[in-house]
Structure 1
Amino acid sequence: MRRDVTRRIFRGRDLVAVSAQARAAFGDDAVVLRTSSLQVGAASAIEIVAAPHRDVERFRARMTPKPERPSVIAFVGPTGAGKTTTAVKAALHPDAFGDRRVGFVTLDTYRAGAVAQLETYAQVAGVPLEVAYEPADVAPALARLADRDVVIVDTPGRGPKAGDAAEWRALLDAIAPDEVHLVVPATVRRDVAEAVRDAMEHATHAVLTKLDEVPEESGVADLAAALDLPVRWVTDGQSIPTDLAAGVPRLVRALGVRGGIE
């Protein structure tokens, strides 16, 4: 509940006496808001307006604009879909975020070597990396990346039947990403892709990966239509960061591939 600042006027013959009144009322850390001289008849006096320190600091915090946090984009999806390499491609490709400053947060502390893998990419690229093991780690991690424009979140590979999904999803909920990109290989069966999408109910976008493994990209447009999520990017190889492309032009082109015509 919001409280107004408690203010009182104190008057006395000199500043020492008036300050003592303020400290008696509000404690030794009383804040003097205004000091003025008064003429009372033939005598002069000092008047101050003072308030409790806690009230002033609470008011200062209310009036201070909250810093805008970076845009937070998470990549989720099944094991082997290419989440980590896609995250790195998006961080480094000039057409993805331009000259905006990027940072990494990884939640993938389950897979052996996952943190080390991303740490290697981050060091080479000069991109700061934070690791979150539990929800309490999230706020400090994001605070350390407050100077970034975009924070990319890598997550552990989990399919629709993963039994420990609640653990890393609690981490994802703590991060509260602005966008959640579901990473799906172009080689996956349509029914499997739909099951993965349904399991990742927070997904806002899709990324189709491994287009280079699909003959003539047949069925890619149909798979994207089945997922029914906006596709900002697709990937078509392992080269970092070059094998990342804008999604919509590639999918429109795939509409004309013979394998996708009924």
Structure 2
Amino acid sequence: MLERLNRAMEYIEQHLDGQIETAELARIAVTSEYHFRRLFSALAGMPLSEYIRRRRLTVAGAEVLAGEETLLDIALRHGYGSGEAFARAFRAVHGVGPGEARRRGAALYAQPRMSFRLIVEGSSGMRYRIVEKEEFRLVGRKARVPLVHEGMNPAIVAFIRSIDQETLRLLESLSDQEPRGIVNVSDNLAGSRAEGTELDYYHAVVTGAEVPEGMDSRAVPAGTWAVFESSGPFPQAVQYLWRDVFTQWFPSNPYRSRPGPEISRTRLSPDGKEAESEIWIPVEPAGK
């Protein structure tokens, strides 16, 4: 898997002055576009689109300082339709416009070329199981919230606090299958998965029951799920588990993620500092 990922990284380098399609990168890595984006983001610590943008502007920055071409020629070669668009993107990465950088030989930001290599980790192991589930429904309350990678998500916290106790009791009564009880669901994420991009968050239950009036619902087709368990400080332990699933488990197991809601079930200790958690990720065999 790492060898195929590095071939995709080589393709990016060879096409920084042209179109780079995620579909082609996924083909080189022999996986789906969805899983390639998820895996890259977890391994690299940034969305694929952001890495490509930084690499392009790193190369463009060197060309700007070299002074051998016009700024417009450099802009057009790197996919910017105008000098103004190039200047805005250049300033966002380097903190200075291309014209000023050329005039005074400014210090610029450089995004190093990435490659992936194996680091021996995971000595503590990971608890997981593979579950086949029939079609079910998520029933509860839904909100559109920004993505937060670490720490508490203020939008989700405020949303949960807005749900009255009567509604929560009704939801609990509808739970009739795994994962039991009220769950947290992330769905319909932006493809880049960048910090601040939006997603659908459900405070809901997994059920086969009818949807009560006034509740939000989401039908989920039958499929395969990888279920992971964790325990430890809240929310760090479950957030680190999400990271480890993509950086350690997927590269060493014959599965890949597939589109669908990602479900977590968390049970807090009385003081709210520790938690027992499960995360359910929709998967499919890597060779599909």
In the superposition, the TM-score normalised over structure 1's length comes to 0.20
* TM-score between both structures, scaled by the size of structure 2: 0.19
